[in-house]
Amino acid sequence: MILVYTHSVTPRIRYIFKTIFTQFIGVEVSLTSQVEEFISFTGVKFSYTKNPLGSELFFSSHSILFEKGIIDHKINVISYQGQKVFFEQAENSSLPFDVFAASFYLLSRYEEYLPHIKDRFHRFPAKESIAFKNGFLKVPVIEYWLKDLVLVIQHKFPEFKAVNRHFKFLNTIDVDNAFCYLEKGVVRSIAAGFKSLFRLDFDEFKQRVRVLAGRERDPYDTFDYLLNLQKKYGFKSIYFFLLADYGYNDKNIPVSSKKFQILIKSLADYVQVGIHPSWGSNTSSAKLSKEIQRLEAITNREITRSRQHFLKLDLPSTYRRLIDLGIKEDYTMGYASQVGFRAGTSLPFYFYDLDMEVQTQLMLHPFAVMDGTLNEYMELPVDDAQYLIKEIMDRVREVNGTFISLWHNETVSDNRHWQNWKQVFEYTIKEGTK
């Protein structure tokens, strides 16, 4: 155990010290504001306050962990030990920056509560983040910071040991549309066919006819391939299913489709499943509840995992709705337009509700790369996409973190603008499981 003295034990203090030491480093931590208790303790200890009590191991504190509410703090990013850091501290501090405050700022997504211009899908844009602006979005900086923290503590207390983590790889699949042409209904199929003809896209029209006539496999029906690859390499997967009512941004297969239901049931025998909350449910608890119940009825199991459709995330309201409806793990923490680490970490952590000033029981699992980011937003050639995936995965592997990738069933279809992207997917799997 490690004992930390601080002049005030706030909810933010409790959250970040438990997250850093208990969850990330694997050591129990106790907090005290009693000087006598701290002085009499003979084990591993340090102070976290404005000024040292004496000659103890001392980390100078930023004010953010002792505040309530949202304040627009000036962020000045500097370099330390090859990594970007912020919340610079006085020379007498054991680290030149407040690792606890900086970690809290990133994990709580503090900057997303500040005024900002949203993107066209009403999301917090990656380019608005301090990580993107200062060039550390592609780095799990918190893990690197904690390596420095552990070394500083060990220099004073050689007996201090962090639990050895191991690199983890997790594949996730969002099923927005299980099929490209099948199970869309007569009206949607006819309308889509006429649309293809109007665009003079005769190849798509012919493919649609062949699939509907049973002469060709639906290009999005890649599920056998995905399962076979999973069996071959032995990795874990989570599939998130969109079960929304039809809408402008929710053009999925009708939930009433027996073929779709059978597909979900069969996949659930081999993979973990979760809900892919619709665009429409992002402001409606009733819609979200209906979608969760639909998946529970199909799979005959409790649904506790989720990832937002379009990565539509409004803090803290989105997470509050998920919590209220029994979701325990969410996999939305990442950006659509850029690869990297939205919260500065690859490791799972609990959501801290800044408005309520309380740690919740919702575990957030950050993803590092998404297929659409690489192909549609960044418009990378296949080789460049593979290079970038390896670059980020190597960094995660270096700190024994967790690399989560986000794909869609249509990505591996080699259909139209996803041509040759099956090889990117297979490359990711091979790198992640080697």
Q: What is the DSSP string of 10-36?
A: -HHHHHHHIIIIIIII---EEEE--HH
pTM above 0.75, yes or no: yes
CB atoms < 10 A from the CB of 369, how many? 23
- At how many degrees (to 10) do helices 202-212 and 186-198 cross? 150
Q: Which residues of the chain have pLDDT under 50?
A: none
Are 388 and 350 in contact by the 8 Å Cβ rule? The answer is: no
State the DSSP H helix or E strand holding residue 318, giving kind and residue range, or none if neither.
helix 317-324
Amino acid (one-letter) located at 263: L
Q: Taking the CA atoms of 44, 49, 55 and 58 in sequence, report the sign of the dihedral they define.
A: positive
Residue showing tokens 């962990």 = 65
Residue 62's Cα: distance from chain center in Å? 27
Residue 19, Cβ neighbours under 10 Å: how many? 23
CA–CA dist 415, 159 (Å, integer): 57
Phi, psi for 306 (deg, rounded to 5): -150, 160
Structure tokens of 162? 């962090």
Distance CA 253, CA 176 (A): 8
- Residue 195's H or E segment, with its range, is helix 186-198
What percent of the residues of the chain are helix, what percent strand, and what percent coil, each to the nearest 5? 40, 15, 40
Query: What is the pLDDT, as a whole number, of residue 202?
Result: 60
> Can you give the pLDDT at residue 207?
78
Residue 211 confidence (pLDDT): 78
Burial class (CB in 10 A: 0-12, 13-18, 19+), 312: buried
82 φ, ψ (degrees, to nearest 5): 80, 5
Which residues make Cβ contacts (< 8 Å) with residue 350, sequence separation at least 6?
A: 15, 19, 23, 359, 360, 361, 362, 363, 364
CA distance 253 to 270: 21
d(CA 345, CA 103): 9
Check residue 408 and give its pLDDT. Answer: 97
